[in-house]
A = this chain, B = another copy of it.
Amino acid sequence: MRVSTRFSDSVHILAFIEIYQDQRLSSELIANSIETSPVVVRRLMSTLRESGLIATKKGTAEPKLSKSPHEITLLDVYLATERAKQLFTLDTNTNPDCIVGGNIQKVLGSYYEDAKMAALRKFNNVSLQDIIETILVEQKAKEHNVQ
């Protein structure tokens, strides 16, 4: 299948909303930065709204973060966009009558869970503020190199 870029794009949207909070933030403008369609942006924003990360008003192009960027972590965004998606996928259709097929799902699944948790813990230690600040530093570095 196609690879999901929802998580990445959702972080993008949140950073964009914060950085350009003084401008008219239409889904079209945001879509232009992500290089996708406005509908995709609105759909992702629906999810972010349902998860309490942003507030929007129908008819007006004024989305706002519901919390300070210090209080939003990558984990919040991950959970909002990917829900309970398995990070490492088990083959859930193995032969239950075989010693291996009948037990591997539980066994591997538990190690998968450990690994996933290690990754998500990292995400819980990175805030949207961290992302934004790093983006701004990278941008300045880029501008500096040009001169």
Contacts and interface: CB of A to CB of B under 8 A. Distances in A.
Nearest to A90: B8
Given A1-B3, A16-B100, A115-B123, A138 B33 contact: no
Contact of A107 (B19, B89, B138): B138
A35 interface: yes
Given A119-B87, A139-B103, A108 B19 contact: no
A91 B4 CA distance: 8
Contact of A102 (B89, B121, B139): B139
Interface string A86-119: 1111110111001111111011100100111011
A100 B15 contact: yes
A68 B136 CA distance: 50
Contacts of A91: 5, 8-9, 12, 34, 36
Interface of A: 1-5, 7-9, 11-12, 15-16, 19, 32-36, 74, 86-91, 93-95, 98-104, 106-108, 111, 114-116, 118-123, 126, 131, 134-136, 138-139, 142
